[in-house]
Amino acid sequence: MVLLAATRPVIAADDEKWVRGYVKDSAGRVLIGATVTVNILDGAPSPRATLVDTTDDSGWYHVEFNPGDWDVGNTIQVISSYEGDQRTVEQSATLNIIQQIDVTYPYEISQFGSWMGFALAGALVAVVGSFFIASRKRCQS
């Protein structure tokens, strides 16, 4: 009886399962080019099924599992890898064909495209440029 209470009910899936979502940092900026691995786990030592996608220009990923790859109650594990950082999110598979699982990193990931990155790069160019101009003036005199 205890064993029955400890297991989750599993319902066979008759449809495909679309797993999709956004990958963002804590500031809400989308992460373009993140590798997203989606595993279907059913308690076995290895995943029941695995698909991989890369986020597009809007930070969006999308994979489609076949009906035999999953059952309601399996665990959907989404692993995002971005510039050496990794984040994992898990949800139980629902009866819905489409299941959105967003991944949010718990910190800001600096990107050159941010305002702070742009300001720092501009300051660095200004410093290097002024040293170059000063050294040219010394060479001419």
Domain check: are 15 and 41 in the same one? yes
Q: How far apart are CA 22 and CA 102, in angstroms?
A: 5
Structural domain boundaries enclosing 73 = 2-107
Lowest mean pLDDT among 12-16, 26-30, 50-54, 61-65: 12-16
Domain check: are 15 and 62 in the same one? yes
**Which pair of structure tokens corresponds to residue 19?**
């797993």
- pTM (predicted TM-score): 0.71
Each residue's pLDDT tens digit, 106-137: 888 765 445 555 555 566 667 776 666 766 66
CATH of residue 11's domain is 2.60.40.10
Residue 59 identity: G
